Structure 1
Amino acid sequence: YNQSTEHIKQGGTRRGANMGILRVDHPDILEFITCKTDTKEITNFNISVAVTDTFMKAALNGEMYDLVNPRSGKVVRQLNAREVLHRIAQCAWRNGEPGLFFIDQANRTNPTPHYAMIEATNPCGEQPLLPYESCNLGSINLENHLTHTADGRYEIDWAHLERSIRTSVHFLDNVIDMNKYPIAAIEKCTKDNRKIGLGVMGFARMLFKLGVQYDSEAGVQRGEQVMKFIAEVGYDESRRMAEKRGVYPSWKGSRHEARGQRVRNSYVTTVAPTGTISMIADTSGGCEPEFSLIWFKNVMDGEHLPYVLDLFIETAKREGFWQEGLLDKILANHGSARGIPEIPERWQQVFATAHDIAPEWHVRMQAAFQNYTDSGVSKTINMPDTATADDVMAAYLMAYELGCKGITVYRDGSREEQVMNVGVSAKEKAAPATAAPSATTRITADKVMEQLVAAHAPGALPAKLERPTRVSGETIAINTSYGKMYLTINSLDGQPFETFATVAKAGGMIQADLECVCRLISLALRYRIPMHEITRQLIGIQDGNPYGVGANRVLSLWDAIAKALASYHPPEQRQESAAGVLAARPEGLPCPDCKSPLVHTENCEKCYGCGYSRCW
């Protein structure tokens, strides 16, 4: 399954995701617990252990428990529960996996036990599902549901939030009927139970604006208050819809029937991680705290994109403690405001980041949201690199006692490559401090230039050709994952002399990168560095967003430029391998917004030029 997922890409750019869950009483449980000790194996799976109440009680008491053959039902062995739980904690301490799934707790709140029992969750763990059920999730941006008070502060706009909840419940219910399902069993189970999962994102940003500390009683109470409101309004809307459309088909015999609740959906609320959509919405993810006030995200082959929390800068200026160099101090402080004397104590506490927060507060916040969430809550219990396996054990026990349905811990630095970091890895600690980000370098252009110069002449460079007032050339249109790129190659005396490139409606970093590379190429050409040396440095560069297939495949903007330049060579220099690379694949229909070709993927038409999408 892992290898199959490796070869099945979502739109050719994103791996699929799987969840592997094994019951703690399975005979192979010890092998399963350690199966991801090598993080380079089973890379397309998250793994969790489904622990039962019986196991947890045995672990608390230091007792033995049974391993049962799932086929025969016979006991095949006994293990010490506390030792097994400690082994799980040790593995999680080492690299964040496995997580725990409290399967009996999940089934206690299963609304349709007569239909089927819950066995596993989706890959992020927030959606315990019956066999063949599917996720149908939506998240409300809490940061956008605030209003200014007369004194310029913020408060929650409950009326606006209620409207968003009712609209979202209606929308998510519609999705169930309008969706196209891959197999009949998924369609039947999804429509029989009509689970929807309405959750949140932007909770941490909301607390920032409200001036409420995340790791405090007030923060936990605010989380519980918001989720309670979403649950109450969401169920009221589901009840209203049941009056018009009817209850969900498996309602007869359900816990809802037993309570006399006629509702349209068997689940209404879920708190998903919203990792990608929260970045698109420029807000914090799910119910998580901000990772850092300044951070870098590792994307596509080791590139680092910097992010700065603008809200902190706005607050610092409004409250009068902004000063030059403050961001550099925060970066040197691992992205945290706490402990920096120039920042008032109150705002040090309000602008809490994930690693400022003690693990017990992480667990308490998860439990606060879980209290009013039908399904599960996707949340990471962040721990400092000094945490021990016993600290992980303590978090497990606390999550179980507070009624969470699962728990995932992550100790800072326990994986060689984190998805997010604040700019200083273990390998970089001996290096000079990095300044706060002001711009982004997507490729190491200076190194490319150094290699070009070294390849051409170990000694002095020839004199640079001066640019005439007028030169001529041609412009080539190349289809890429970011839209159509227009590459202009001007020549002088029959030889390429300079390059310019632009991508349809692109801006920011993409256009800046193109300008950087084209300037370097032009400079190299004016120093008479042979074209084949330039293209050799650029051909094959990947950015994780390929376009086309076979010989027409374009691996990146830089790869496309190199192949276009190679095809521009005189016959004696032209590389046969570059022939025909500009044909690319046939264009789809033009994007209605930017006219770049639409790509059909994931049952949608998408434009990588401007972000337009249309789903069927």
Structure 2
Amino acid sequence: MKKQLKGLERHFTSQGVDPFASVVWERRDAKISNYRTGEVAFEQDGVEVPSTWSMNATNILSQKYFRGALDSPDREGSLKTVADRIVDTLASWGQKDGYFTGPDEAATFADELKYLLIHQRAAFNSPVWFNIGVKGVPQQGSACFILSVDDTMDAILNWYREEGVIFKGGSGSGVNLSRIRSSMEHLNGGGTASGPVSFMRGADASAGTIKSGGKTRRAAKMVILDVSHPDVEEFIWTKAIEERKARTLEAAGFDMGVDGKDAFSVQYQNANNSVRVSDEFMQAVLEGRDWELRAVTTGEVLRRLPARELMRQIAQAAWECADPGVQYDSTINRWHTTPNAGRINGSNPCSEYMHLDNSSCNLASINLLKYLNDDGSFDVDGFTHAVSLLIVAQDILVGNADYPTDKIAKTSRAFRQLGIGYANLGALLMALGLPYDSEAGRAYGAAITAIMTGYAYDTSACLAARVGAFDGYDADREGMLRVIGMHHEHVSKINSYFVPPELITAAQEIWQETETLAQEQGIRNAQVSLLAPTGTIGLLMDCDTTGIEPDLGLVKFKTLVGGGTMTFVNQTVPRALRSLGYDQTAIDSIVAYIDEHKTILGAPQLKEEHLPVFACAMGDNVISYRGHIAMMSAVQPFLSGAISKTVNLPESATVEDIEEAYIESWRLGLKAVAIYRDNCKVGQPLQTMRKEEKPVVTAEVAELRREIADLGSRSKRERLPRHRQSRTYAFQVADAEGYATVGEYPDGRPGEVFIKVSKQGSTLAGVMDAFSIAVSLGLQHGVPMETFVRKYVNMRFEPAGITDDQDIRIASSLVDYIFRRLAIDYLDTDSRDDLGIHTTGERTRSLLFPTEDSHLPSNKEIDESYGASVTPLPPLDDATPFVQSDAPYCYSCGNVMQRSGSCFVCASCGTTSGCS
């Protein structure tokens, strides 16, 4: 071998010194209580962990990863036991398979890996923790699987069975259903086919009955359909229609909570749905061309429709229920390392693993904050050593782990796909004093990711020299080297102005070396890196932020020894303030303010220019959705796979905002994107109080009343002249018709609004009359029209739907429509920009001519747009800290979960709805 494997040298440990002696150990009682009932959900006394581990991490380790029946002699009770079980098994397998030159190298491998695990510097995905080394259970080590299904009943029924086996083993799966003929096509024996959507019902019901690993979480799955499939419209609307049903049932008094007795009637809720779109489709959207839906069996065109209309349907459905997401097929296959082995059709449940059908990927993630030195420098040597060590460990797993099907076992061992990634990027950037949504933050993230994947492929090349390249390497050598060259090329595009020279130098040197080694020695693994949600293992490592996500909020909840919780300001905040040059007095003052007010806005002594450093995913100082997308685009060119991340949008976001997010993500070269608009789902809500205590409309009206009262105390009513001009217009929202009359002051300002609706019953007519009077009085007492618009747009109630107004195609209620119309008629463009309200013409121009020179992007320009700067939106007003209205209650302990990538994780016990 031409180069020593860096991960098999000692870096953190010394020969002859037990790595467990590097920490102070203590015993404590692990206890998890049910948030809703107060009952103890899990309890184990005398758990042995390092003293530096939090109680949360202790609870997760003991509840999820200790094996053996509780209170039995076989029950594990120490992290030492778990680390020995996993690492010693891997070392034994590695020695058997020729990974080590001898016992000394095997001992080095074991000591170094145990050090990483007990110091929370890295962690394997969950199946490794609860399967590897356990006698009598399948040694399943992968969290992510991609299945395939053909257009036969046997294949469809086998899909159900394979998913069940995968879920039982504690993992998740994804499948592209586009090979199944559409409901518009005929069967060979006569009659019409059911179509893929109908078969999704059976798979959804099966998934809803199986807990992953038989223990803690429901099944995680992904369902994908190509944008050219004739049933794509039905697929787009499956979950949105079910969401409407859920809202109707909840309003009628049915129990639609997370474990509500009536929630089972809502279908398709156990899967993430994604539409696969091509570059050709996206160009058709921009150019306003028609799109063809083609028969699966014959390829004939069954229907044509405007591509923009289809994209609008995707955005509208996502606005209603957060599904479907979008996967960019052309981009995915452009970065495919083994195209001769077959194209990439599917992904795992969270869209970060994308490779061949009937394949798997085992994941491991590195805690980035552990490699940040006190002086602000990044420990490149320690980080790259950890990368190399983990790649060796993961590759050993591939050849020795068990798989749910023979097809998956064959593909996985032939192509040896790995998924190394990281967590705590958001905390790392904050600790450095860098805003997440900034050129500096994106450049730093890109450099770290480039180094990680570069060293992963470098190690893979060294492994190829020692134990051989992957089986399909010779057939796809050209494709493999082409993609490695693409990664290398993008290193030069990192903005070195914002990155320490040692990071840029490390990235450049490792990719130069990797490209040379790959050409000379081959590659052991067809893929090496991705960014997973790191839900459970992120909490196990006591990470402030998961995966690539920014911080959720500046105040965290901490589980205490002996039970109970407390809130505290993230420890990253004082570290960030020190990096920004604040003295201890100022730091103490700012931290105390955050602790009291649960916000940093208004904190004494904090400089305004430093506010973006502390922007979070939620709260009153939030990162715009464009900031999320821009960070993804900066790191994507340095990942073999993709990124598990949900782009969060406020409740006030429009369908057009979501459409723009999907188009922008394609332009910037992402492989997939999922969105969530706050409060768009009725099921599984986080509720800070009972619904009868906080009706949505009452809260808005109460705030408006306070504003009116305040203005009224300072001003007198300005009555309209007896004879005044007015404008009246007819409107239709869904099946509701009506008229609105706006009376104006002589200078053209609106002073009164009267709304009449027909065929909706006397109750709604009376309410609208009373509402009109209240708004009119507010206008005459000086309440700005902008205030009314801000409070009432996006209010949701029936009737809602398509309108007959060319400027406002969709309205979520009559009130939403009226105030959008008033905004267009009476507010200037800048004010409407701030509110996100635009006419159809303005939106069309924005989509068609996104750049100043107003030309359509070429494929080359799309490629070159990776990491491009994206102008952030202004901070959103009136955001509520820490509220994630789609967050479910934990299936295991009943506590409220929080979003982690495309999934949810319980901060109390580590249960996740995803596959990490």
TM range (shorter): 0.5 to 0.7
Match among 418, 433, 436 for residue 196 of structure 1: 418
Matched, 1:285 2:546: yes
Q: 2:636 matched to which residue of 1?
A: 370
Pair 72,221 (structure 1): closer, same or farther in 2 beyond 3 Å = same
Residues 566-585 of structure 1: matches in 2 within 5 Å? none
Q: Which runs of 5+ in 2 are unaligned?
A: 1-202, 244-265, 486-517, 559-563, 578-582, 704-888, 896-907, 912-916
Match among 274, 282, 305 for residue 534 of structure 2: 274
Deviations 1:476-497 (A, max 9, x none): xxxxxxxxxxxxxxxxxxxxxx
Pair 423,235 (structure 1): closer, same or farther in 2 beyond 3 Å = farther
Residues 473-488 of structure 1: matches in 2 within 5 Å? none
Quote the offset at 1:157 in angstroms.
0.8
Work out the CA distance in 1 between the residues paired with 2:355 and 2:238: 24
Quote the offset at 1:308 in angstroms.
4.7
Matched, 1:160 2:423: no
Matched, 1:63 2:289: yes
Pair 91,610 (structure 1): closer, same or farther in 2 beyond 3 Å = closer
Quote the offset at 1:235 in angstroms.
1.0
Contact 1:6 1:16 in 2 (8 A): yes
Deviations 1:133-191 (A, max 9, x none): 11211111101111122xxxx22111111111111111111110121111110000111
Contact 1:251 1:257 in 2 (8 A): no
Matched, 1:232 2:454: yes
Q: 1:185 matched to which residue of 2?
A: 407
Pair 421,105 (structure 1): closer, same or farther in 2 beyond 3 Å = farther
Deviations 1:291-312 (A, max 9, x none): 2113679xxxxx9996752332
Secondary structure in 2 aligned to 1:371? helix
Pair 2,223 (structure 1): closer, same or farther in 2 beyond 3 Å = same
Contact 1:165 1:230 in 2 (8 A): yes
Contact 2:594 2:603 in 1 (8 A): no
Contact 1:5 1:16 in 2 (8 A): yes
Work out the CA distance in 1 between the residues paired with 2:890 and 2:437: 38
Work out the CA distance in 2 between the residues paired with 1:422 and 1:207: 31
Matched, 1:221 2:443: yes
Contact 2:372 2:379 in 1 (8 A): yes
Match among 617, 634, 658 for residue 354 of structure 1: 617
Contact 1:294 1:330 in 2 (8 A): no
Secondary structure in 2 aligned to 1:106? helix
Deviations 1:525-574 (A, max 9, x none): xxxxxxxxxxxxxxxxx98449xxxxxxxx99xxxxxxxxxxxxxxxxxx
Work out the CA distance in 1 between the residues paired with 2:690 and 2:450: 39
Match among 2, 17, 21 for residue 224 of structure 2: 21
Matched, 1:405 2:671: yes
Deviations 1:116-149 (A, max 9, x none): 1111110001111211111211111101111122
Pair 363,233 (structure 1): closer, same or farther in 2 beyond 3 Å = same
Contact 1:193 1:249 in 2 (8 A): yes
Deviations 1:247-297 (A, max 9, x none): 000112211267763110011111111122112222111111012113679
Work out the CA distance in 2 between the residues paired with 1:351 and 1:5: 39
Matched, 1:256 2:480: yes
Q: 2:277 matched to which residue of 1?
A: 51
Pair 83,404 (structure 1): closer, same or farther in 2 beyond 3 Å = same
Quote the offset at 1:322 in angstroms.
3.0
Q: 2:607 matched to which residue of 1?
A: 344
Q: Which runs of 5+ in 1 are unaligned?
A: 298-302, 434-541, 547-554, 557-607, 612-616
Work out the CA distance in 1 between the residues paired with 2:595 and 2:447: 36
Q: 2:846 matched to which residue of 1?
A: none
Bigger shift: residues 288-297 or 212-221: 288-297
Work out the CA distance in 2 between the residues paired with 1:388 and 1:423: 27
Quote the offset at 1:422 in angstroms.
9.2
Q: 1:98 matched to which residue of 2?
A: 324
Work out the CA distance in 1 between the residues paired with 2:392 and 2:411: 20
Matched, 1:9 2:233: no
Quote the offset at 1:104 in angstroms.
1.5
Work out the CA distance in 2 between the residues paired with 1:424 and 1:200: 38
Q: What amino acid is aligned across from residue 310 of structure 1 in structure 2?
A: Q
Q: 2:315 matched to which residue of 1?
A: 89
Work out the CA distance in 2 between the residues paired with 1:427 and 1:313: 38
Secondary structure in 1 aligned to 2:239? coil
Match among 33, 46, 54 for residue 236 of structure 2: 33
Contact 2:593 2:600 in 1 (8 A): no
Q: 1:479 matched to which residue of 2?
A: none
Deviations 1:78-120 (A, max 9, x none): 1111111111111112221110000121111111111111111
Work out the CA distance in 2 between the residues paired with 1:148 and 1:320: 19
Matched, 1:384 2:650: yes
Q: What amino acid is aligned across from residue 332 of structure 2 in structure 1?
A: A
Q: What amino acid is aligned across from residue 193 of structure 1 in structure 2?
A: F
Work out the CA distance in 1 between the residues paired with 2:398 and 2:449: 23
Quote the offset at 1:202 in angstroms.
0.6
Pair 610,287 (structure 1): closer, same or farther in 2 beyond 3 Å = closer
Quote the offset at 1:318 in angstroms.
3.7
Quote the offset at 1:13 in angstroms.
2.3
Deviations 1:425-462 (A, max 9, x none): 975894999xxxxxxxxxxxxxxxxxxxxxxxxxxxxx
Q: 2:594 matched to which residue of 1?
A: 327
Contact 1:293 1:330 in 2 (8 A): no
Pair 246,220 (structure 1): closer, same or farther in 2 beyond 3 Å = same
Work out the CA distance in 1 between the residues paired with 2:600 and 2:286: 38
Work out the CA distance in 2 between the residues paired with 1:28 and 1:610: 38
Contact 2:277 2:327 in 1 (8 A): yes
Secondary structure in 2 aligned to 1:136? strand
Contact 2:535 2:910 in 1 (8 A): no
Contact 2:431 2:575 in 1 (8 A): no
Q: What amino acid is aligned across from residue 217 of structure 2 in structure 1?
A: R
Q: What amino acid is aligned across from residue 24 of structure 1 in structure 2?
A: V
Quote the offset at 1:56 in angstroms.
0.7
Secondary structure in 1 aligned to 2:606? coil
Q: What amino acid is aligned across from residue 353 of structure 2 in structure 1?
A: Q
Contact 2:586 2:605 in 1 (8 A): no
Contact 1:136 1:172 in 2 (8 A): yes
Quote the offset at 1:74 in angstroms.
1.5
Of structures 1 and 2, the one scoring higher in RCO (CA 8 A, sep 6+) is 2
When the two chains are superposed, the root-mean-square deviation of aligned CA atoms in Å is: 3.3
Work out the CA distance in 2 between the residues paired with 1:304 and 1:103: 45
Secondary structure in 2 aligned to 1:47? strand
Work out the CA distance in 1 between the residues paired with 2:654 and 2:464: 50
TM-score (normalizing by structure 1): 0.65
Work out the CA distance in 2 between the residues paired with 1:89 and 1:386: 15
Work out the CA distance in 1 between the residues paired with 2:306 and 2:689: 42
Q: What amino acid is aligned across from residue 53 of structure 1 in structure 2?
A: D
Quote the offset at 1:328 in angstroms.
5.4
Contact 2:433 2:576 in 1 (8 A): no
Q: 1:475 matched to which residue of 2?
A: none
Structure with more of its chain in helix, by fraction: 2
Residue correspondences, number: 431
Deviations 1:509-537 (A, max 9, x none): xxxxxxxxxxxxxxxxxxxxxxxxxxxxx
Work out the CA distance in 2 between the residues paired with 1:373 and 1:420: 34
